A and B are shown apart, each in its own frame.
Chain A
Amino acid sequence: MKKHVLSALFSALFLLTSALPFSGLAQTTVDVTFWHSMSEEAGEALSRIVERYNETTGAEEGIHVTLVYQGKYVDSVTKMNSMLNSGDTEHLPDVMQLDATGKIVYGAADAAYTVDELLQEAPDTDLSDYLPSALQNWNVDGVQLGVPFATSTTLTYYNKTVLDGLGIPAPETLQEIGRIAAFPLEEDATVYACIPNTPSLANWLGQLGSYLVDCENGSAGMAERLDCIQNGALETFLQVWKDLYDTGALANREASTDEFAAGKLLIMTASSSTIASLENKIGGRFELGVCAYPKVNEASSSGATVSGSCLVMFDHGQEKREAAWKVIRFLTGPEAQAEFAMKAGYIPAVGSALQTDTWRSFILQHPQYAAGAEQLALTPVMMRSVTVGPSADFYYSIMNDVSEMLDQDLSASETAQMMEEDLTGMLEQFARNNR
């Protein structure tokens, strides 16, 4: 008896689902396939923007965007790799959202239709509205691959309620963070938790006027050695880091947003796009403070590099190319960028978005959301995010080495030497394989 009920239920479910309608397209429209990696709030915001495009501008121009989720960045890059590898370029999308890990492979692909190629076809294309630092981030070896779409940077988040209560202003340097340890805090509270990785180390080295690796952090060619050894920048930073640990303010582990939201961690550094979900988690229990990325010391410059993702195109004939670029223009236009920024915490990648009324009134109500854009404007242009072949290895090796320094009480110079060995080995191995 029960078996029958179940099987009836199952078949009803199947019938229902298979009967679900799938959007039929008008015949005259150009279909643009757009692979994205946005989930949660950002995913919802993106589908609303694309829906609106299809109903308004797209309908007028005869373009229909089909939005396809392709998993996380790492998954979609794997997918792109496999397709390029098997020569299956026909199933590549027209527009794709790509993060830094996909830069090198995309740049080498024949099927790619870079912005540089677009500029050759349409020389009067105007890119001046894009924020220079964000646009630069997607320029590899002098070739502009795509345009910034979901732009973020690393910021300092702090528990404003607790810090205000102790009379501590927003911390600007790592030393100021260290001084907080001397204040009477709750017993199980941690001031700051962090293990430096590639981007955060590049930020701090950049503030000291140094690159992490040569070729301007790998953006002007294939990096083969570290750039922060001879100028002593790495050792300087490691010493600061060790001193911070000795004050007791620094916990040698990665910050967790949950710990922060629970009020047990006072300061953390994280992506500007964390802000929306972080506010959800805090749920108004305390006031969230947002300020610029901490400086290594008083003398260093401030700022942090751009991260996030861009939009790139693949070549499927002229008609599709033109349509793809129109879609990208819409998605990186002022309205779309402002909306995306408000819903998902990304930074508008075009200057005109910052001037829209929606953005201005939004910032008045939510001043925390302005910190990212402000920081990007202040960041020196020489601070570039790191592009290296062995990106994952690099990332974890830096974390492991720095964390080992604190765990095993190694000296800053010993650690710098160890890091040079580990990281240079990876770069050399990569260079050998790709000569």
Chain B
Amino acid sequence: MKKHSFSLPDAALLLLRIFLCLLVVFPCVYAFLGSFKTADEFSRLPPRLFPDSFLNLSNYEAVFTLAPMGRYFFNSAGTTLLVCIVKLLSAMLAAYAFTYFDFRFKKTLFVFLLGTMMIPADTVIVTNYQTVSRLALTDTWLGIAIVSFAGASQMFMLTQAFSQAPLALRQAAFLDGCSDLRFLFSVLLPYCRPVWVTLFMQAFVAQWNAYLWPLLVTNSDRMRTVQVGISMLTSTEDTNYQVILAGTVAAILPPVLLFILVRRLISHSLTEGAVSG
């Protein structure tokens, strides 16, 4: 009703939003500003938020000269996409089965799959190295990706989302002669696009930030990923924060670009839903 008029509570709300947003994003801003500082600026008192000069790019130079970062970005992008696609597809199929099919051991299997989330990742590393090495997959993209294909968390969320979709949707589609797979991919997935796009991003971020396994399973510089490159910026003895922060800023740019891209996808699908609804 007064949707488009501007009132005092609206202004207060906007201010609150700006404040909260800044508060949440603040650590990132701090990292960004810190990435332009020099080593001695960091330990100068009193601590200041802003660097002396935004033209001090030496930390970024360090990031890109220490290792073939271009190649690392390429490897990270490739393995991450591979993981996301296989993970989401297998989780979608499983979630579909759990939502619409009746079968024996349904609950047991569901909890069994959820159980994979409760196993500390690093307890399985040594055995997985043996398996991957036996499959002759060390030093390959598939070797990096294959251990992360199981996506119980994604399956869980998708099951929740699918069960929220009206049953009439499926009945109508089946009357039109849809098969299960066709219904899944051409009706159900478009219907809950925000959910799986969100999950895709979550999986993307998690894999993009993986460090230990990609390091273990690759032997050559050619196959290394971004996070391994970034760890080369920090020493065991001491820490040069400014360079790490520069590395961090460089490494989160690709996922953030993806976010901007994907956000359009989500809002697009939401308006679409609004129109048809």
Contacts and interface: CB of A to CB of B under 8 A. Distances in A.
The judgment on whether A and B are partners is: yes
Interface of A: 3, 6, 13-14, 16-18, 20, 22, 37-44, 66, 68-73, 75, 78-79, 81-83, 85-86, 88, 91, 152, 257-258, 261-264, 270-271, 273-274, 277-278, 280-285
20 contacts: A13-B73, A22-B222, A39-B234, A39-B235, A40-B234, A43-B232, A69-B221, A69-B224, A75-B212, A75-B231, A86-B129, A88-B133, A88-B138, A91-B139, A262-B45, A270-B237, A270-B238, A283-B38, A283-B39, A283-B41
A91 B138 contact: yes
Interface string B114-134: 000000000001100110011
A40 B74 contact: no
| Residue with the highest number of chain A CB atoms closer than 10 Å, among B68, B234, B236, B264 | B236
B163 interface: no
Instruction: In the A-B complex, list the 10 residue pairs whose CB atoms are closest, starting with the nearest.
Output: A283-B40, A17-B70, A261-B43, A86-B130, A280-B39, A82-B129, A17-B74, A262-B43, A40-B235, A277-B238
Contacts of B41: 283
A86 B217 CA distance: 12
Contacts, number: 129
B173 interface: no
B79 to A, nearest CB: 13
Given A40-B233, A75-B215, A281 B129 contact: no
A148 to B, nearest CB: 16
Q: Is the interface of B mostly helix, strand, loop or mixed?
A: helix
A44 B66 CA distance: 7
Contact of A13 (B67, B70, B133, B222): B70
A3 B224 CA distance: 28
B270 interface: no
Contacts of B66: 39, 43-44
A278 B238 contact: yes
| Residue with the highest number of chain B CB atoms closer than 10 Å, among A79, A81, A271, A281 | A281
B221 A86 contact: no
Given A82-B130, A82-B216, A86-B133, 15 more contacts: A6-B257, A14-B74, A17-B71, A39-B234, A40-B233, A68-B219, A69-B67, A82-B129, A83-B129, A83-B133, A263-B45, A280-B40, A281-B43, A283-B38, A285-B40
A274 B126 contact: no
B243 interface: yes
A112 B215 CA distance: 22
B276 interface: no
A263 B45 CA distance: 9
A72 B43 contact: no
A69 B231 CA distance: 10
B42 interface: yes
B53 interface: no
A78 B215 CA distance: 10
Which interface class (under 10, 10 to 19, 20 to 34, 35 or more) fits B? 35 or more
A276 to B, nearest CB: 9
Nearest to B131: A86
A18 to B, nearest CB: 6
B74 A18 contact: yes
Interface string B192-227: 000000000000000000001001100111101000
Given A6-B257, A262-B45, A68 B228 contact: no
Contact of B130 (A22, A85, A152): A85
A262 B138 contact: no
Contacts of B266: none
A78 B238 CA distance: 21
B256 to A, nearest CB: 12
Contacts of A277: 39, 235, 237-238, 240
B3 to A, nearest CB: 28
A97 to B, nearest CB: 11
Nearest to A18: B74
Contacts of B220: 68
B77 interface: yes
Nearest to B70: A17
Nearest to B234: A39
Contacts of A18: 71, 74
B61 to A, nearest CB: 12
B200 to A, nearest CB: 16
Given A42-B235, A262-B45, A282-B43, A82 B215 contact: no
Contacts of A283: 38-41, 43-44
B175 interface: no
Contacts of B234: 39-40
B261 interface: yes
A329 to B, nearest CB: 24
B40 A79 contact: no
B71 A20 contact: yes
A239 to B, nearest CB: 31
Contacts of A39: 66, 231-236
Contacts of A70: 215
Given A6-B257, A17-B74, A283-B38, A257 B238 contact: yes
Nearest to A307: B237
Contacts of A284: 40
B126 A81 contact: yes
B108 to A, nearest CB: 32
A9 B232 CA distance: 27
A85 B125 CA distance: 11
Contacts of B235: 38-42, 277
Contacts of B39: 277, 280-281, 283
B232 A17 contact: no
A41 B234 CA distance: 10
Contacts of B237: 152, 270-271, 273-274, 277
A6 B71 CA distance: 19
A235 to B, nearest CB: 31
B70 A69 contact: no
A36 B220 CA distance: 12
Contact of B126 (A13, A85, A258, A282): A85
Given A277-B39, A281-B40, A69 B232 contact: yes
A281 B126 contact: no
Contacts of A258: 42-43
A16 B68 CA distance: 12
Nearest to B264: A3
